A and B are shown apart, each in its own frame.
Chain A
């Protein structure tokens, strides 16, 4: 595998925005891409610190997102507060189990997977281990690909709120949990974007 040349070995650098191959220079600050004008970096700037910060912030929002109710349904004076999990259960019992599985995956499994996967990627990249590099690279691409589907429940609450407005008879209201959940999704997306997958390959073994 070491026969494949990497950009830094050839004195090259790829533009993060337009992908142009440029020549690396020793003094890289304020070097810009000759084609699109974006700043050139060998690796995304402050990748570790930024990704950790966003991930930890996302996790702090994720707790109230799950504990606090996201939606209140009032029907014939019967007030019912739903959390994400109770919404899934209700969908399983009264609606369709397939959709319950989709919502469960999007709002519980995907965010949890993102926290675990991003922590794993960050810790293993920190240690510069060559362990399971291809699998880690694939895991990162999976995280990037599925991340935004977690917005599903937020849109469901928004649509139901707008629809169910029959006055005293029945009413759907958004509750703070949904705001925390939306913020969790945005922060985890930003976290996975600020992680630089090249770090997976900057291991001790292949580096020198």
Chain B
């Protein structure tokens, strides 16, 4: 392991940043409110000014958790036909797909709509709870690595649009009633979009490693 020679000294490393899309090296500069740094070579976003502090982020994550519980226990839509009514929750959908010989779809839905978003919120909450005080949570590096890999696999926003399409399709034959679950999902979608746009990597700079 040649890790020690690998590290630049702290100040040097924090002053530099590398564009992830084209490997161009930049010197870092404090961004003003609303400013976005873009790569001159490939135009990718390098860094954005962060409006929301760690406290604000933690509040958002906690809100998202409450909404997530509601989105999972409240029914999403109700169908009515000749006085009969039927409604489903997210887990109702997942279990139904499993029983209907579409286990692959069932696993995909469970992972992208339940387990990955849940893992994301719990890890983020854990990291932020300590970051508020400038500390690195136990297992910080692992948590940050999990966040990096789980990121692209949460699809709640796609599900909201899917529910909308399903409602319109079913509307041709049935009476359709949107239920609170779909609204909880819409709120969750907004919250997840907000914290997906925040660059979590700055938590490395905001927190200090515990003295070894």
Q: Which residues of A contact B (CB under 8 A)?
A: 1, 4-8, 10, 12, 14, 17-23, 25, 27, 30-38, 40, 75, 87, 90-91, 94-96, 99, 102-103, 133-134, 137-138, 140-141, 144, 148-149, 151-166, 169-170, 173-174, 178-179, 182-183, 186, 189, 193, 197-198, 200-201
Which of A10, A27, A174, A182 is within 8 Å of B108, CB to CB?
Answer: A182
Which chain A residues border B169 with CB–CB below 8 Å?
87, 90-91, 95, 156, 160
Which of B6-14, B60-68, B117-125 sits within the interface? B6-14
Which chain A residues border B148 with CB–CB below 8 Å?
17-18
Pairwise interchain contact A17-B165, C-beta atoms closer than 8 A: no
Pairwise interchain contact B24-A5, C-beta atoms closer than 8 A: yes
Question: Taking CB as reference atom, which chain A residue is nearest B161?
Answer: A152
Report the bound CA distance from A199 to B20 in whole Å: 11
How many residue pairs, one in A and one in B, have C-beta atoms under 8 Å apart?
226
Which chain A residues border B170 with CB–CB below 8 Å?
160, 163-164
Which of A1, A40, A99, A154 is within 8 Å of B41, CB to CB?
Answer: A1
Asked if B164 is at the interface (CB within 8 A of a chain A CB), the reply is yes
Report the bound CA distance from A84 to B1 in whole Å: 52
Interface of A is mostly: helix
Which chain A residues border B102 with CB–CB below 8 Å?
158, 161, 174, 178-179
Which of B73-81, B127-135, B186-194 sits within the interface? B73-81
Pairwise interchain contact B201-A18, C-beta atoms closer than 8 A: yes
Pairwise interchain contact A10-B101, C-beta atoms closer than 8 A: no
Which of B21, B88, B165, B173 is within 8 Å of A170, CB to CB?
Answer: B173
